[in-house]
Amino acid sequence: MLASRMSPTAAPRVWITRAEPGASATARRVAAAGLFPLVAPLLETADLAEAAAALDALPTSAVLAFTSANGVRAFARLTPRRDLKAWCVGTATAGAARLAGFADLVAGGGDVEALARDLLEAPAAAEIVHASALEPAGDLVGRLVAAGRPARRLAVYAAREAHPAPARLQEALGAESILVHSPRAARILADLLRGRPGPGPRVVGLSPACLAPLASLDLAGMVAPASPLETDLINLLASLR
């Protein structure tokens, strides 16, 4: 693990709560910023095999919408389809789509609302299919349908609670800062922190929605970058040390 090659006393410790493989990628960025990453995911992902037949049957006129790199990777494992145009929420998701073999793709501005605006401004397609988590963080399809665009959601993976080893969890709970990439992880974190003596660690969330489940806790601070991009998240974290 990346953290084992660094001295924990050399830099402020940062607990990374997101699921793998994203957690390790974030850890590398945190280390490059001169901080000490502690990877202890609170979520893990699992493909939904039952979605494979529906993905294979998508018409060639359909357009895909991805709101996470996890969605891209699950889609790619479930079906060989790469003939559809892929609209991606941001550059990281677009990078995952490119690696998965999509040639026709568009990177959005970084959040679901920006992606919805981009899709509504694009020429109408027969259908927009959101390849999503079982419990998506935002309602992309609802936004599109309300604007009169045909769209549906097709869940390709589920995010489930992960349970770090007790010793690793205790180490992570002692970090000076915690990175939270989703409201779901924030809810799990809130349960772990609730009842502990405060003030707790500082939490840096990818967006205000990622901080909302922690609002009632006694924390050293909560902050989110102006835009939901991991580059901005890491820059913000580094500026707080």
Tell me the average pLDDT across 28-53.
97
pLDDT at 126: 81
Take residue 62 and report the two structure tokens written for it: 């359909």
Distance CA 181, CA 136 (A): 13
Q: How many CB atoms lie within 10 A of CB 166?
A: 8
- The reported pTM is 0.85
Sheet of 63-66, strands arranged across? 43-47, 151-161, 128-133, 63-66, 85-88, 105-107
User: 137-158 burial, b if ≥16 CB within 10 A, otherwise e?
Assistant: bbebbebbeeeebebebbbbbe
Confidence of residue 3 (pLDDT cuts 50, 70, 90): very low
Contact between 24 and 16 under an 8 Å Cβ cutoff? The reply is: no
Distance CA 119, CA 116 (A): 5
In this structure, which amino acid lies at residue 226? A
Average pLDDT of every residue of the chain: 92
Residue 38 has pLDDT above 70, yes or no: yes
Take residue 121 and report the two structure tokens written for it: 């401004």
Distance CA 99, CA 77 (A): 12
